[in-house]
Amino acid sequence: MNVLGFESSCDETGVALVATRPDGPPLLRAHALHSQVQMHEAYGGVVPELASRDHIRRVLPLTRRVLADAGATLAGVDVVAFTRGPGLAGALLVGAGVACALAAALGRPTLGIHHLEGHLLSPFLSADPPEFPFVALLVSGGHTQLMRVDGVGRYTLLGETIDDAAGEAFDKSAKLIGLGYPGGPALARLAALGRDDAYPLPRPLLHSGDLDFSFAGLKTAVMTQHRKLGASPTPAQRADLAASTQAAIVEVLVKKSLAALKAAGLQRLVVSGGVGANAELRRQLNEAARRRGLRVHYPELTLCTDNGAMIALAAAMRLQGGVAVAQHAYAFDVRPRWPLDQIDG
Ligand code: KG4
Ligand code: ZN
């Protein structure tokens, strides 16, 4: 079965074609992506109206490219999937509208997918796919959650951030240090040049005894520290502050992930979402896993941040699991706010 998937929840337009297989995870036949990062850079963050308009411009050319790359045609598409939420309402409506229009024209069913389920399952497209059950650390620009995953659609929330997401902590700290948008990758690059113990920064909720996170206080501490450096900090001071910030975020993520594995009695961790691309996070998790005999799985680096492949994949895995798709139901009701534990609601 061929699933065409659309992602348009935020600032990336993603389209992909995935095929189900009887004896293993679905196969990625082709995917294409357009990132709006450059367009939003001038504003220091995503401008929702501009995002929606750009999705409209990009989605059909990307679809044509995916079909051409896969050597497929629209007639060969069995199900059309799209990100139903969470995300920016206008942006979501573009993907949902296009998916429903195509599906209606083809006489095929649609499947609305939860964006975080896409991230969560994305390592199944990697060369080293995980097996259920596992603990998932979901770290994106909008979410930071630890989840117990027993199968497709069987997600139990173990802990989450009570304020900012880990990606937000990267982005906001990067902005304070004077780096561009999105700040995560830029801060990580600068951090590689600095000392991670140069400035004492808080590790919020590290010893809270639960699996929740809090990153808002860290941002304030970075701001205070940056002010202390005066109007023109040296390149070395900025690199030290970047390294110290990254160290604080990564330490909390690593320790809480290990605590979650212990609490769940599991040995397998899956890391996904944009911050999962962070090299220092991967290095520390791999090191901890090696010492404790644990397994860590990641999506391919190109599939860590938002993409269409993870949406088509999640739909294909749902279909393989026997989920029913609504025939001829083309009401594109998006859900900008949608907790993952209400996925079937
Ligand atoms: O998953 P994603 O593409 O979008 C959301 O669903 O939010 O995640 C984007 C987030 C941004 O906050 C970005 O700064 C962060 O992931 N990010 C990184 C890295 N690459 C992306 N953070 C730290 N290190 C990276 N290498
Ligand atoms: Zn995302």
State the number of CA atoms in the 13 A half-sphere of 22 facing the CB: 0
pLDDT at 126 over 70: yes
224 CA from centroid of ligand 1 (Å): 24
- How many Å lie between the centroid of ligand 1 and the Cα of residue 319? 29
- Pocket of ligand 1 contains residue 306 by CB under 6 Å: yes
pTM equals: 0.94
Residue 305: the pLDDT is: 92
Q: Is 56 exposed, middle or buried (0-12, 13-18, 19+ CB in 10 A)?
A: middle
Domains, the chain: 2-121+303-342 (3.30.420.40), 132-298 (3.30.420.40)
Which residue's alpha carbon is at the smallest distance from atom 14 of ligand 1?
Answer: 184
Who's near 230: CB < 8 A, 6+ residues apart? none
Sign of CA dihedral 163, 168, 172, 173: positive
Q: Which residues pair with 268 in a beta bridge?
A: 295
Give the pairing type, strands 12-21 and 2-7: antiparallel
Phi-psi region of 180 (alpha: psi -120 to 50; beta: other; left: phi over 0): beta
Q: Which of residues 172 and 327 earns the better pLDDT score? A: 172
Is the model's pLDDT at 277 over the cut of 90? Answer: yes
Q: Is the pLDDT of residue 275 over 80?
A: yes
Sequence-ordered list of residues with C-beta below 8 angstroms from that of 283, at least 6 positions apart, any chain: none
> Could you report the per-residue pLDDT of 16-57, keeping only the tens digit for each?
999 999 888 999 999 999 999 999 988 988 999 999 999 999
Beta carbon of 278 within 6 Å of any ligand 1 atom: yes
Instruction: Report pLDDT for 328.
Output: 65
Verify whether ligand 1 is closer than 6 Å to residue 276 (CB atom): no
Instruction: State the distance from the centre of ligand 1 to the C-alpha of 281, rounded, in angstroms.
Output: 12
pLDDT, tens digit, 9 for 90 and up, residues 231-264: 999 999 999 999 999 999 999 999 999 999 999 9
Report the distance separating Cα 82 and Cα 328, nearest Å. 15
- What residue owns the CA closest to ligand 1's atom 8? 274
Residue 181 CB–ligand 1 contact under 6 Å: no
Task: Evaluate if residue 327 carries a pLDDT over 80.
Answer: no
Distance from the alpha carbon of residue 276 to the mean position of ligand 2, in angstroms: 11
The predicted-structure confidence for 214-236, as pLDDT tens digits, reads as follows: 999 999 999 999 999 999 999 99
* pLDDT higher than 90, residue 324: no
DSSP string spanning 121-175? HGGGGSSS---SSEEEEEE-SS-EEEEEEEETTEEEEEEEBSSS-HHHHHHHHHH
CA–CA–CA angle 130, 340, 298 (5° rounding):
25
